[in-house]
């Protein structure tokens, strides 16, 4: 143990000693709670938060993966493919970041445009901002929350897609939804993601992924709205490749391989400031 110059222990060491250490079951519960609140976890961050060694955390993550509750990655963990909190839970997460993303996104929208908007927490923030700042639009959506908030503006005409209702996500999906979208030309599609990697854009809900792909295919421009927690996170159903999109609006610029993939594809990255 290292002592300070006056012979006492450093304050951070004393603080660590005073913090109670959780048993394994309690640590696992904490890790899973963190995973529900965010998309990715890092070994170093968990070790510091739980006051244990990184080796202990790695063993915890291995055991949780064996139980099918997480997917380990280099240096941390992500949710299992197809696993994401319900949209009602996501509405309470990253609120400031999503509001900033929404405020930046609506600057790209012009009067008289036709806008397709996918379901999700971030897209609902965008719809709320559209209702406040935009006018004379046609909005096509499969999301009940998007339709509800954007309809507050009487100058915006709302078209709600038919289909099979997914109550957990508050959206319509299915063959009828996709066929309905084929009848429209769209200026911009505004879509969220469960994860974006150099391989592509993906969603935890496969039926939603195919609706997003249909919206993208009908649009002259596709705008992805995503907070930085979705970067480098694989998810179940890939519905687009990076070159398929034109713009990413986010709260923090990506780096590494994802940044290089976006640059190669000529995707404009617009960073919103809180």
Domain ranges of the chain: 11-78, 87-271
How many CA atoms are closer than 13 Å to the CA of 153, on its beta-carbon side? 21
Q: pTM above the 0.95 mark? A: no
Kindly report, residue by residue over 87-125, the tens digit of the pLDDT: 555 555 678 999 999 999 999 999 999 999 999 999 999
Nearest to 166 by CA among 130, 203, 138: 203
How many residues are listed for the chain in this entry? 274
**Residue 232 backbone class (left: φ over 0; alpha: ψ -120 to 50; beta: rest):** left
Q: What is the pLDDT of residues 234-249, one digit of tens each?
A: 888 999 999 999 999 9
- Backbone φ and ψ for 88, nearest 5 degrees, come out as -65, -35
Binned at pLDDT 50, 70 and 90, residue 15 comes out as very low
Domain 87-271 has CATH 3.40.50.740: no
pLDDT at 14: 43
Angle at the Cα of 171 from the Cα atoms of 166 and 177, rounded to 5 degrees: 100
**CATH number of this structure's domain 11-78:** 1.10.10.10
What are 190-240's pLDDT values in tens digits? 999 999 999 999 998 899 999 999 999 999 999 999 999 899 888 889 999
* Distance between CA atoms of residues 23 and 204, nearest Å: 32
Q: How far is CA 235 from the centre of its chain?
A: 11
Secondary structure element (H or E) that encloses residue 238, with its range = strand 237-240
């Amino acid at each position: 143990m290292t002592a300070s110059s006056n012979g006492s222990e450093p304050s951070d060491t004393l603080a660590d000693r005073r913090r109670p250490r959780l048993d394994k079951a309690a640590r696992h519960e904490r890790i899973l709670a963190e995973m529900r609140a965010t998309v990715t976890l890092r070994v170093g961050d968990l070790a510091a938060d739980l006051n244990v060694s990184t080796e202990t955390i790695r063993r915890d993550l291995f055991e949780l993966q064996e139980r099918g509750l997480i997917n380990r990655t280099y240096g941390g963990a992500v949710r299992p493919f197809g696993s994401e909190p319900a949209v009602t839970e996501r509405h309470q997460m990253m609120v400031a970041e999503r509001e900033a993303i929404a405020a930046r996104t609506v600057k790209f929208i012009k009067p008289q445009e036709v806008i397709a908007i996918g379901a999700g927490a971030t897209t609902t923030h965008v719809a709320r901002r559209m209702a406040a700042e935009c006018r004379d639009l046609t909005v096509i959506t499969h999301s009940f929350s998007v339709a509800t908030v954007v309809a507050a503006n009487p100058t915006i005409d709302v078209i709600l897609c038919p289909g099979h209702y997914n109550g957990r996500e508050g959206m319509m999906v299915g063959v009828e939804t996709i066929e309905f979208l084929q009848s429209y030309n769209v200026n911009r599609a505004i879509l969220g993601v469960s994860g974006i990697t150099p391989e592509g854009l993906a969603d935890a809900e496969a039926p939603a992924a195919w609706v997003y792909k249909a919206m993208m295919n009908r649009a002259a421009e596709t705008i992805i709205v995503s907070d930085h927690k979705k970067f480098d996170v694989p998810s179940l159903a890939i519905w687009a490749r990076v070159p398929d999109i034109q713009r990413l609006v986010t709260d923090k610029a990506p780096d590494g391989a994802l940044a290089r993939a976006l640059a190669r594809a000529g995707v404009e990255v617009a960073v919103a400031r809180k």
